[in-house]
Copies of this chain bind each other. A is one copy, B any other.
Amino acid sequence: MTDEWSSSEKKIARRVFDAALHQELTEVLQTFKAMAERASDPEGMWSTEEFLSKSRWAIDSKYDYRYSQLDLVFGRLLREGRISEQDLSGLSESKMSVILRIAAF
């Protein structure tokens, strides 16, 4: 849990969050389309279904835009290399410190 989010921090958060989500959805979409293209039997079809349902669950649980959760979200995205420290520039020192600790966890 970090301190309150100022309005300029909220803007940064929204932009970084949306960009990371968009990027991840684009990757899942590409993989999905390639799997579907290759699928020529029920097995390939059900593998695609499993890939989609796991991806949906993972994305839904990862991208939680509540201010009480954003430090965890950004820490995780940083750890996964989906965002960089520079992307978060403008957040308070105390928030960055929490996010970096989560990223390193």
Q: A33 near B: Cβ within 8 Å?
A: yes
B-side contacts of A46, CB under 8 Å? 52, 56
Complex: A36 Cα to B48 Cα, angstroms: 10
Number of interface residues of A (CB under 8 A): 18
Q: Say yes or no: is A85 at the interface (Cβ < 8 Å to chain B).
A: no
Chain B CB count within 10 A is highest, among A33, A36, A46, for A36
Q: How often does this chain occur in the complex, in copies?
A: 2
Return the CB mask of A30-45 against B: 1 if under 8 Å, else 0.
0011001101111001
Q: Is A88 an interface residue when CB atoms closer than 8 A count as contact?
A: no
A67-81 CB mask vs B (1 if < 8 Å, else 0) is 000000000000000
Contact with B along A16-59 (1 / 0, CB 8 A): 00000000010011001100110111100110110011001000
